[in-house]
Amino acid sequence: MTNNSGSAVLQPEQEMLNWGRLILDGVPYADLVSARDRDPSVTWFEHWMQTAANYERLGETAESRGHTISAGEYFVLGSLAAQYAQFLWFDDRRRAGQERKVELYRRAAPLLNPPADRFEVTVDGATVPGYVRTPTTGEGPFPTAVLLGGLESTKEESYQFEQQLLARGIATVTFDGPGQGEMFPEVPLRGDYERYTSAVVDYAEKLPEVDSSRIGVVGRSLGGHYALRSAALDDRFIACISWGGFADMDSYDDETPMTKESWKYVTASSTDEESRERVMTLMDVRSELHKLRVPTYIQHGMHDEVPVSEVEVVKQLAVDAPLTIVIEPDGDHCCHNLGPRPRIEMVDWLEEQLKPRS
């Protein structure tokens, strides 16, 4: 495989794939090995869609036998498989994989422990779909974390991270915003993601299980950018985590070819230049960072493609926010390569913000 200039380029699954990320998000190691070692005549997409179908069948069998916990686990595994089938391509496979991911997670949702309760709110006439999960033990209303997906991650993929929050007594709210998952066909990437976050908070804060005075926002990758924007512009958030995020996209030209393809897709741009222009204009929170006043946790890996200088930008502009900055010298994008510790540390920090001990 060669690019236009004739030099060798990597297969998408070689360029983008991060085993650390997939495994921490719940993809079985065995499934990754199986995908890597698959019959070469079977495409990556076909292989993972078949994996998703296998888990769906296992889920159906388990459910029919009354094994609801197992059924939920299988449907989540199927949903993850469909996610990673499509996330490297930007043609019909993208939509097909996304639809399967959504479908399988919807089947999982009522079977999870705790269940994920689907909701839909409306912004500008468009539907914003999401899920709420609340801890199984302890007395509500609960401190709550609103979780934001990124460039190609959606509300279905934070399942494992939700488990960590829920185990510590924190409710979770996830949704798809502009350019993400279920919303993308109706609303591509926009520069006002915070309006969607706020609409979700409008809904969530009225739930009896949500303590409206103790809501934090956590965003990963592009979601880390959205988290900064959301916390700066909605004072109902009392804490913010930008996990591998950024303030601006001035470094757009340094992104990998695959990531540029992904930006082009989510902005629904016709040309590379149009995509570049939109991303650099819309993905810029610098003018708002002075409004950020709540405790904010910035996690960044030194080996991230997103330049660590983005942390400096936040430091210089978010002058009124108490910042906790964690730069991992050996970390990649979102520190997926470092195992459970960085995630546990974020969760513990958030718990301290949302559940201060007297």
* 29 forms part of the interface with a second copy (CB under 8 A): yes
Instruction: Name the residues annotated as catalytic.
Output: 152, 221, 304, 333
Binding mask 126-165 for a second copy (x = CB under 8 A): ----------xx----------------------------
Q: Which is nearer to a second copy, 130 or 135 (CB)?
A: 135
195 or 343: whose CB is closer to a second copy? Answer: 343
Contact 107, 57 (CB under 8 A): no
For the CB of residue 14, give the shortest distance to a second copy in the complex, in Å: 17
Cβ atoms of 110 and 76 within 8 Å: the answer is: no
Region of 29-37, 195-203, 271-279, 297-305 interacting with a second copy (CB under 8 A): 29-37
Structure tokens at 38: 């698959």
Does 303 bind a second copy (CB under 8 A)? Our answer is no
By beta-carbon proximity to a second copy, the closer residue of 269 and 337 is 337
Site string for a second copy, 34-73 (x = CB under 8 A): ------------------------x---x--xxx-xx--x
**Cβ within 8 Å of residue 356, ≥6 positions away:** none
Helical ranges in the chain per DSSP H: 12-15, 19-24, 29-36, 44-64, 68-86, 92-108, 159-167, 193-204, 222-233, 257-266, 272-282, 309-317, 341-354
Rg of the Cα atoms in the chain = 20
Beta strands in 134-201 (DSSP E): 142-148, 171-175
CA atoms within 13 A on the CB side of 278: 21
Q: Are 38 and 279 in contact (CB under 8 A)?
A: no
Segment 322 to 351, residues that bind a second copy, using CB under 8 A:
337-341, 344, 347-348, 351
User: Binders of a second copy among 94-113, rule CB under 8 A?
Assistant: 113
Contact set with a second copy (CB under 8 A):
19-20, 23-24, 28-31, 33, 58, 62, 65-67, 69-70, 73-74, 77, 113, 136-137, 167-168, 337-341, 344, 347-348, 351-352, 357
